[in-house]
Chain A
Amino acid sequence: MNNQSPLCTTPVHYIEIDETRCNGCVLCMRACPTKAIRVHEGRVAKVVGVCVDCGECIRICPRGAIRAIASDKRDMAEARYSVVSASTVLYSQFGEEVTPNDILLGLKKMGFSYVHDQSYTNEMFNVAIELYIKENKKKEHAPWPLISPVCPVVVRLIATRFPDLLSHIPPLAAPREIVAREVKMRLSSKFGCDESEIKTVHISPCPAKMICIKERFFQDHSYIDGAVGISDIYGVLKKNIEKVEEDKVLHHSGGMGLGWGMSGGEISGVQMNCLAVSGLQETINYLEKIEMGRLSNIDYIEFRTCSEGCLGGLFTVADKYQGKRYLQKLVRMYGIEKRVKYDYVKKLYRNGWFFAEKNRYSPRVTLTKKTLKERIERQKRVEEILTKLPRKECGHCGSPDCTTFAEDVVEGRASLDDCLYFCGRAPSTVSLKEKK
């Protein structure tokens, strides 16, 4: 409980609110799954709590006032060798005529010294999940169901709202990290240079994957040096794909590795009792079910907080349902047969190849110096205030709901007078008085 990295406890967030555009409506505050936003005192939304980078506030803001603080491309400038790997979502962005190989060649033409396809590692990861499930079933280890470690928003959401479920996340590294690690190792021995001279960049469908490489919550050190959003490079990449003349084969996987961008893509290659759940609200609903001890008959659940999976990420360009159609076509084209060699992957698994260096996440709770006595006292005051509130959950006070408002009052962040109902300023009471 106490060995948390400093970043876990402070309300770090990577969103920026443009004060000239924000009019203080409460849509972002209400959409936030960790209740991190307030519109107290004045009209501008503020982040006060722990953000999980889900992007819901950005999606919902009708004025475009919120944006993700994106990556820093300068990281790449001084690299001797630059390596790019892309989320397989990228393969769904250019229509059905453009193959994964065309896209990889296009990336090469953009000037990266080396391009690595992630889909093959995805297939290997599928095998690793199967092995992990089988191993734990035999030993009766691991609480069931296991939860996929791939979506960083899910991992942070669990650490923030469902810390009891952290033990359900297997200590496997996400394929994007494995790719970067291996590429660095291989190229440094090939060119006889230090790993620090090789910079890896990941092309990401969402801000969360960008942010997680910088966050010590996920790992002490990420092998990925920088990340850019698909939408950031879309135009340039498109032009370069058109200019491709080279005929090299850079893509090696079957269909199972390519479909990962879709909800259900990760588990379709796992021959176990698996579920795929997508969308933020659905994810929360299912995590609550697991918290209540249900679904323990399931082996593994792939959660994605974006609806339809990573295809619905904030940095994608193509329509997510169109993208899904292209990916489904790719899966059919390349076949459901895995191209990885099972025995080879099994050997790698035994050697710890798939395991994350940091194998347990810590709960992200704000540590307080208060004593237990003071904490009980505090909760008691929260409950007392709650009995005075109307429980309309309207959000006019500037807190997302009545319970959070009561906590804010106790913490001194808000005043009871901010409640329209409490001080009789609510529209219904006003109009009733006027009628009389």
Chain B
Amino acid sequence: MNWTKKDLLGITELSKDEITLILDTAESFKDISKREVKKVPTLRGKTVITLFYEPSTRTRVSFEIAAKRLSADTINVSSSTSSYVKGETLKDTAKNLESMQPDVIVIRHNMPGAPHMLSKIVNSSVINAGDGAHEHPTQALLDLFTMREKKGRLDGLKFVIIGDIAHSRVARSNIFALKHFDSEIVCCGPPTMIPPFIEDLGVKVEYDINRAVKNADVIMMLRIQKERGGVSYIPSINEYSTIYGLKQDQVKKAKKDVIIMHPGPMNRGVEITGEVADGPYSVILDQVENGVAVRMAVLFLLTGGEA
């Protein structure tokens, strides 16, 4: 399996072999974060810019740590502190950044397709760190890595994703990724938050959370995307929490060795109770830990080797 891509824009453009290669490569990089010297010289001399037009804690820090552990230099640009507030277009910002010869630009933007546009105008590798409600490929990859680590496989699982599916790029990327494997995918949430025709992607839709979680191997909870108008799709947060929040009662209906995932940030007491989030089935912090390894693998594959 040879890696040939310059950019990582979405899961849709990855083959099953490419996904597996990223996960396998990440295995080797995971050990580095457990050592006393958490650094290898692999990407010495490379420059990674993280360009974030939306708020982020986990993803931005994760990319930055991943790049630094590979000895790359990192520079963060946030929209609030950039010339964006002075009216510069994304295209101009990108061209200007490129003049400083970065090797990778990691971009998060509220407009779907922004990373794709960027990849056409710059020579640097572009990584999509979330574009609107479209895709968030590295999140799906770290989710798959965590599932594979905990379950030992990606086939034959019942994967249930619950919440604001319609506005979730995490849901979309995870569905696209898991479609390569022989697992059952169930989407659950209020009808207003389930996009029409989502069954065409080969997933099942279930509106009753108790039925959805039955015998589940993996339960992934999503938060309501308030920044994308999510709240207007439900009568009230309280009602949503009562009907679609994950509580111990639901966890008991799943398989005995179920894992509970959440891409973060969590709204405790809304889509997930504190008891479940901090409980023995939760792998939420493992996801964060694995995020660094997966992003190290992605940075390595995109910049390493001759295309």
A associates with B: no
